[in-house]
């Protein structure tokens, strides 16, 4: 991971391989650029006058040997119209900076963009975001290539500046938070990108074990299929019975808060490969169903961040991990199973397996006497139909929790959009032979999936995030996004700030 450092100091005095400075549209110098311009006898404004850079976002210009300065290079970054500089523009500006720096040979840079004014955002937010975006942009997954990407000379140290020494403490805290979140995102991406033949349920269990070794406040528990059978987890086990990989029910229990404080419980769908089972999926893009454990990866990533920051909260992560494959022993459409809750389920489609593993994990969550339970799952293709790939579906039985998640979402940029859980939708889950069917028809697919889960979450405050549209990218940029780890960590940070649970 990159080294992130904060400091304060005048741009013209920085001895660095590169300093990064913003230019607004049209050719308007930022305060920092003004200083360099003054120190260099108008060098910057002279260059801008020649028209090479208007200052639009995505524009940049690399200058060498600027007079009156001590840096080898000055990278000018377009910041767009000053009045339009918002969260998204800031993220794009940092992205552009990192893209440009990756194309140079600099190993270290001093970035003044954290001194830009952004509507409603303080230094802490700007520094943390810069750290998160930079780490995101420099992630590489090449562990399974026989020749690794050469990075002998690549950015290793990213220095962010603050206007005054008084801001340093706050900014340092922001880099720590940003680095912890970035580490969690990194873990989530890597678990997601690993193929199904490597990242199996037992692989996830081993990862959880090694996470627990790193922090005395974190315990791990792995339930085997025999344990799950004793608990009556017939729904979860019906999914793994068609696979040669044994299912695992993984629990990470982090106790950093008061003994009496009820934990936040995170539940992540951990289907390490979803073929659909006997209700087999079509072949195109089926490889992407290795990403069907991205909910698990996100909650594990969030735990990694919580653990790194030693947050004074209690958080439990539960991961029901299994493959979903067709086999002689696999469940068949029409099979009826009994869940841990005692409710019976008619499996009309074996491809609706996520809710089957989640429902038993959600019943299991009761034993932790949770303050809230948030499940995170690549649950339905329908959420992509409803919201595209820009937002997570959010469904909940507790409006204040929706409110808290909405607030956290605004800070991290992981968008959430609430969908209703009205009783009328519940009717779609009627079964002639069991308490419920595991599918509710084509209409409102994300909602009926959540309705199914809601029948197992009556005893606590609960929210469900359907991340099927946001957890990974398809096409040329195929890869896990590591989201919504930042949202989960932000939500937890918000709660660890509060006195009572
Ligand atoms: N893991 C899939 C959901 C999914 C599909 C996520 C495509 C991202 C892209 C889930 O297990 C599934 O197969 N859901 C079915 C439900 C249906 C059978 C009711 C779906 O969405 O088609
Ligand atoms: Mn499925
Ligand atoms: Zn699935």
Give the Cα separation of 461 and 174 in Å (integer): 30
Residue nearest to atom 14 of ligand 1 (CA): 380
Give the model confidence (pLDDT) of 425-437 as tens digits.
Answer: 999 999 999 999 9
Q: How far is the CA of 348 from the centre of ligand 2 (A)?
A: 12
Which of 152-166, 197-211, 276-290 is predicted with the least confidence, judged by mean pLDDT?
152-166
Give the Cα separation of 291 and 7 in Å (integer): 39
Q: How far is the CA of 349 from the centre of ligand 2 (A)?
A: 9
Residue nearest to atom 17 of ligand 1 (CA): 352
Q: What's the whole-number mean pLDDT along residues 225-244?
A: 98
pTM of the model: 0.98
Give the Cα separation of 8 and 15 in Å (integer): 13
Catalytic center residues: 281, 355
pLDDT of residue 498: 64
Give the Cα separation of 373 and 364 in Å (integer): 11
CA dihedral of residues 482, 484, 489, 494 (deg, nearest 10): 160
Q: Which atom of ligand 1 is nearest to the CA of 354?
A: 11
pLDDT at 233 over 60: yes
List the domains of the chain with CATH numbers.
3-163 (3.40.220.10), 182-500 (3.40.630.10)
Does 484 contact ligand 1 (Cβ within 6 A)? no
Q: Which atom of ligand 1 is nearest to the CA of 276?
A: 13
Does 60 contact ligand 1 (Cβ within 6 A)? no
**Contact indicator for 295, 259 with CB cutoff of 8 Å:** no
Does 154 contact ligand 1 (Cβ within 6 A)? no
Pocket test for ligand 1, best of 358, 380, 393, 481 (most atoms within 8 A of CB): 380
pLDDT at 40 over 50: yes
Q: How far is the CA of 277 from the centre of ligand 2 (A)?
A: 8
Does 349 contact ligand 1 (Cβ within 6 A)? yes
Pocket test for ligand 1, best of 351, 393, 439 (most atoms within 8 A of CB): 351
pLDDT of residue 149: 73
Does 300 contact ligand 1 (Cβ within 6 A)? no
Q: What's the whole-number mean pLDDT along residues 45-49?
A: 96
Give the Cα separation of 495 and 493 in Å (integer): 5
- Rounded to 10°, the helix 123-137/87-102 angle is 40
Q: In the structure encoding, which two tokens stand for residue 300, read together?
A: 């594990």
**Contact indicator for 55, 27 with CB cutoff of 8 Å:** yes
Contacts of residue 333, Cβ cutoff 8 Å, sequence gap at least 6 = 278, 279, 347, 348, 349, 350
DSSP strand E in 238-297: where? Answer: 248-255, 264-268, 270-274
CA atoms within 13 A on the CB side of 269: 33
pLDDT at 500 over 80: no
pLDDT at 191 over 70: yes
pLDDT of residue 152: 66
Give the model confidence (pLDDT) of 102-138 as tens digits.
Answer: 999 999 999 999 999 999 999 999 999 999 999 999 9
Residue nearest to atom 13 of ligand 1 (CA): 351
pLDDT of residue 62: 98
pLDDT of residue 77: 98
Contacts of residue 420, Cβ cutoff 8 Å, sequence gap at least 6 = 395, 447
**Contact indicator for 256, 313 with CB cutoff of 8 Å:** yes
Q: Which atom of ligand 1 is nearest to the CA of 440?
A: 19
Does 445 contact ligand 1 (Cβ within 6 A)? yes
Residue nearest to atom 22 of ligand 1 (CA): 381
Q: Which atom of ligand 1 is nearest to the CA of 292?
A: 1
pLDDT of residue 411: 98
Q: How far is the CA of 243 from the centre of ligand 1 (A)?
A: 18
Ion ligand 3 residue ranges (Cβ < 5 Å): 271, 274, 292, 354
Give the Cα separation of 38 and 59 in Å (integer): 23
Does 378 contact ligand 1 (Cβ within 6 A)? yes
Does 468 contact ligand 1 (Cβ within 6 A)? yes
Does 270 contact ligand 1 (Cβ within 6 A)? no
Mean predicted lDDT score pLDDT of the chain: 97
Q: What are phi and psi of 458, to 5 degrees?
A: -70, -20
Does 381 contact ligand 1 (Cβ within 6 A)? yes
pLDDT of residue 153: 80
Cα angle 414, 312, 91; round to 5 = 25
**Contact indicator for 197, 244 with CB cutoff of 8 Å:** no
Q: What does the DSSP assignment read for 105-141? A: --SEEEE-GGGS--TT--HHHHHHHHHHHHHHHT---
Q: Which atom of ligand 1 is nearest to the CA of 353?
A: 11
Pocket test for ligand 1, best of 381, 471, 472 (most atoms within 8 A of CB): 381
Q: How far is the CA of 384 from the centre of ligand 1 (A)?
A: 10
Q: Within 10 Å of residue 303's Cβ, how many Cβ atoms?
A: 30
Does 323 contact ligand 1 (Cβ within 6 A)? no
DSSP strand E in 269-334: where? Answer: 270-274, 314-324
Does 346 contact ligand 1 (Cβ within 6 A)? no
Q: Which atom of ligand 1 is nearest to the CA of 269?
A: 1
């Amino acid at each position: 991971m990159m080294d992130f450092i904060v400091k304060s100091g005048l741009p013209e005095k920085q001895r660095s391989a590169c300093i990064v400075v913003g230019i607004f549209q049209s050719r308007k110098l930022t305060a920092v650029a003004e200083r360099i311009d003054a120190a260099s006898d108008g060098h910057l404004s002279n260059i801008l006058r020649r028209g090479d850079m208007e200052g639009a976002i995505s524009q940049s210009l690399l200058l060498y040997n600027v007079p009156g300065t001590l840096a080898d290079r000055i990278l000018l970054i377009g910041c767009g119209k000053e009045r339009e500089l918002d969260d998204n523009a800031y993220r794009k500006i940092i992205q552009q900076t990192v893209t440009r720096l990756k194309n140079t040979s600099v190993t270290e840079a001093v970035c003044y963009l954290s001194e830009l004014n952004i509507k409603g955002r303080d230094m802490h937010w700007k520094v943390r975001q810069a750290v998160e975006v930079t780490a995101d942009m420099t992630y590489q997954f090449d562990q399974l290539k026989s020749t690794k990407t050469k990075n002998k000379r690549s950015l290793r140290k990213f220095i962010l500046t603050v206007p005054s020494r008084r801001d340093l403490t706050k900014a340092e805290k922001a880099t720590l938070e940003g680095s912890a979140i970035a580490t969690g995102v990194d873990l989530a991406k890597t678990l997601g990108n690993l193929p199904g033949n490597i990242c199996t349920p037992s692989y996830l269990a081993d990862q959880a074990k090694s996470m627990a070794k790193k922090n005395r406040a974190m315990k791990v528990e792995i339930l085997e299929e025999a344990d799950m059978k004793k608990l009556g987890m017939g729904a979860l086990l019906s999914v793994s019975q068609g696979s040669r990989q044994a299912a695992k029910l993984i629990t990470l229990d982090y106790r950093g808060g008061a003994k009496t404080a009820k934990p936040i419980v995170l539940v992540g769908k951990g289907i390490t490969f979803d073929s659909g089972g006997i209700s087999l999926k079509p072949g195109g893009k089926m490889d992407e169903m290795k990403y069907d454990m991205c909910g698990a990866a996100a909650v594990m990533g969030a735990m990694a961040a919580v653990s790194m920051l030693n947050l004074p909260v209690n958080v439990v992560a539960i991961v029901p991990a299994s493959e979903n494959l067709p086999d002689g022993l696999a469940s068949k459409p029409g099979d009826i199973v009994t869940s841990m809750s005692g409710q019976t389920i008619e499996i009309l489609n074996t491809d609706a397996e996520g809710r089957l593993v989640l429902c038993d994990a959600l019943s299991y969550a009761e034993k932790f006497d949770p303050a809230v339970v948030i499940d995170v799952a690549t649950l339905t293709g329908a959420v992509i139909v409803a919201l595209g790939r820009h937002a997570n579906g959010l469904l909940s039985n507790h409006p204040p929790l929706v409110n808290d998640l909405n607030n956290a979402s605004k800070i991290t940029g992981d968008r959430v959009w609430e969908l209703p859980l009205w009783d009328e939708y519940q009717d779609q889950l009627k079964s002639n032979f069991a308490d419920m069917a595991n599918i509710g028809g084509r209409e409102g697919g994300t909602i009926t999936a959540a309705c199914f889960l809601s029948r197992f979450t009556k005893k606590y405050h609960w929210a469900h995030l359907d991340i099927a549209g946001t957890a990974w990218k398809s096409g040329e940029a195929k890869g896990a996004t590591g989201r919504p780890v930042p949202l989960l960590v932000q939500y937890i940070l918000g709660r660890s700030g509060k006195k009572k649970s």
